[in-house]
Structure 1
Amino acid sequence: MKRILALYADIMDGVSVFVGQACSVLFFACIGVSAYEVVARYGFDAPTLWSTELAMTLCASAWVLSVGYVTERHRHISITMLEILVGERVWRVFRLIQMIVATGAVITLSMALYHPAAKVLSRTEYSGTALNSIQPTYLKVLIFVGCIFYILQLLANIIRWAQRTEGDVTGGH
Structure 2
Amino acid sequence: MRGFLLVVDGVNEVVGRVFSWAVVLIMLITVYDVVMRFAFGQPSLWAFDVVKQLYALEFMILAGFGLVRNAHVSVDVFTARLSRRKQAAMEVVSYLVFFFPFMVMLIWKSYEFAARSWAYGETTWGVVALPVYPIKTVMVVASVLLLLQGIAKVFRELAVLAGREEAC
8 Å contact from structure 1 (residues 6, 160) kept in 2: no
> Secondary structure, in 3 states, of the residue corresponding to 1:84?
coil
8 Å contact from structure 1 (residues 126, 134) kept in 2: yes
Which residue does 1:170 correspond to in 2? none
Quote how far apart the aligned CAs of 1:87 are. 4.2
Q: Please give the per-residue CA displacement for 1:143-162, whole angstroms capped at 9, x wherever unaligned.
A: 11111111111111112222
Counterpart Cα distance in 2 of 1:80 and 1:159: 20
Query: Aligned AA for 2:61?
Result: L
Which residue does 2:120 correspond to in 1? 123
Query: Aligned AA for 1:114?
Result: Y
Query: Aligned AA for 1:126?
Result: T
> Secondary structure, in 3 states, of the residue corresponding to 1:83?
coil
Quote how far apart the aligned CAs of 1:111 are. 1.3
Query: Aligned AA for 1:13?
Result: D
Which residue does 2:136 correspond to in 1? 140
Query: Aligned AA for 2:152?
Result: A
- 1:70 paired with 2:93, answer no
Which residue does 2:14 correspond to in 1? 18
Q: Please give the per-residue CA displacement for 1:38-62, whole angstroms capped at 9, x wherever unaligned.
A: 1111111110001111111111101
8 Å contact from structure 1 (residues 6, 159) kept in 2: no
8 Å contact from structure 1 (residues 157, 166) kept in 2: no
Counterpart Cα distance in 2 of 1:118 and 1:166: 41
Counterpart Cα distance in 2 of 1:113 and 1:89: 35
8 Å contact from structure 2 (residues 110, 136) kept in 1: yes
8 Å contact from structure 1 (residues 34, 51) kept in 2: yes
Structure 1 unaligned spans of 5+: 168-173
8 Å contact from structure 1 (residues 23, 66) kept in 2: yes
Query: Aligned AA for 1:129?
Result: G
Counterpart Cα distance in 2 of 1:166 and 1:75: 21
- Computed over aligned residues only, the root mean square deviation of the Cα atoms, in angstroms, reads 1.8
Q: TM-score, normalised by structure 2?
A: 0.88
Percentage of matched positions with identical amino acids: 20
Q: TM-score, normalised by structure 1?
A: 0.86
Counterpart Cα distance in 1 of 2:12 and 2:38: 39
8 Å contact from structure 1 (residues 83, 91) kept in 2: yes
Structure 2 residue corresponding to 1:96, chosen from 92, 97, 104: 92
Structure 2 residue corresponding to 1:106, chosen from 85, 103, 106: 103
Quote how far apart the aligned CAs of 1:21 are. 1.1
> Secondary structure, in 3 states, of the residue corresponding to 2:80?
helix
Q: Which 4+ residue blocks in structure 1 deviate beyond 6 angstroms?
A: none
Structure 2 unaligned spans of 5+: none
Counterpart Cα distance in 1 of 2:156 and 2:95: 11
Counterpart Cα distance in 2 of 1:15 and 1:71: 12
Counterpart Cα distance in 2 of 1:54 and 1:129: 11
